[in-house]
């Protein structure tokens, strides 16, 4: 497991000054290109979350789909997408959230989650936590139970972990980057 985590972290490339000067961009696409690292990532998440009674995995567009869908398949439970506005064809709920500059909206199908669901939320990266706070609110508005969120990458200095913990969410992150 320590070995797998080191392999996963080594597969994530860092691009300095992207998308703007001073930002160290952690690029999860290089992990996806590495079959062993991708497989190890899903295996760690399966080991962590199997046999815990989860009934749904929720992943947030777009990069949350890349980890949420394979995880749901391995856990043998359904995958529910949270999407950007106007993409889901059935009745939806919407939640606004703050971006670094401006606002955006996320949506979920109202019939995709119910009060019997115990939901695991997954995304590639946790920064401010705004994306996953909005995702958790959507699930809770539908009556779903959610206390767990998993990330491949976390940037704890930006505050998302604290923000999610204050909402009663246990945060698992495979690779943390602090002052690197």
- Positions annotated as catalytic residues are 63, 100
Q: Which of 80, 127, 138, 175 is the binder for ligand PRP (CB under 6 A)?
A: 127
Site string for ligand PRP, 87-126 (x = CB under 6 A): ------------------------------------xxxx
Under rule CB under 6 A, residue 128 binds ligand PRP? yes
Under rule CB under 6 A, residue 62 binds ligand PRP? yes
Q: Which of 68, 81, 129, 144 is the binder for ligand PRP (CB under 6 A)?
A: 129
Asked if omega into 62 is within 30° of 0 (cis), the reply is: yes
Q: Looking at beta carbons only, is 54 or 65 nearer to ligand PRP?
A: 65
Contact residues for 75 (Cβ-Cβ < 8 A; gap 6+)? 46, 49, 50, 54, 57, 120
Q: b/e string for 12-24 if b means 16 or more Cβ within 10 A? A: beeeeeeeeeeee
3-state SS of 83-106 is ECCCCCCCCEEEEEEECCCCEEEE
Q: Residue 134: which of 95, 82, 84, 85 has the closest Cα? A: 95
Site for ligand PRP in 32-51 (CB under 6 A): none
Under rule CB under 5 A, residue 63 binds Mg ion? yes
Contact residues for 25 (Cβ-Cβ < 8 A; gap 6+)? 14, 15, 16, 18, 19
Under rule CB under 6 A, residue 131 binds ligand PRP? yes
Q: Looking at beta carbons only, is 134 or 142 nearer to Mg ion?
A: 134
C-alpha distances in Å from residue 19, one per residue of 14, 59, 107: 12, 24, 26
Q: Which of 59, 70, 81, 160 is the binder for ligand PRP (CB under 6 A)?
A: 160
With CB under 5 to 8 Å by kind, the binding choice for 134 among Mg ion, ligand PRP, none is: none
Under rule CB under 5 A, residue 56 binds Mg ion? no
- The contact set with Mg ion (CB under 5 A) reads 63
- The contact set with ligand PRP (CB under 6 A) reads 60-63, 123-131, 160
């Amino acid at each position: 497991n320590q070995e797998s985590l080191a392999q996963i972290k080594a597969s994530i490339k860092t691009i300095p000054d992207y998308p703007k000067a001073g930002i160290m961009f952690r690029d999860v696409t290089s992990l996806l290109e590495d079959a062993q690292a991708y497989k190890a990532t899903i295996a760690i998440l399966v080991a962590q979350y199997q046999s815990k009674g989860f009934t749904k995995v929720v992943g947030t567009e777009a990069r949350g789909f890349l980890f949420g869908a394979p995880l749901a398949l391995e856990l043998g439970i359904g995958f529910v997408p949270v999407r950007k506005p106007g993409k889901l064809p059935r009745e939806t709920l919407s939640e606004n959230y703050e971006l670094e500059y401006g606002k955006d909206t996320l949506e979920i199908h109202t019939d995709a989650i119910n009060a019997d669901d115990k939901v695991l939320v997954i995304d590639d990266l946790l920064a401010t936590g705004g994306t996953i706070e909005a995702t958790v609110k959507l699930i809770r508005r539908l009556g779903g139970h959610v206390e767990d969120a998993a990330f491949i990458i976390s940037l704890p200095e930006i505050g998302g972990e604290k923000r999610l913990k204050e909402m009663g969410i246990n945060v698992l992150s495979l690779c943390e980057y602090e002052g690197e």
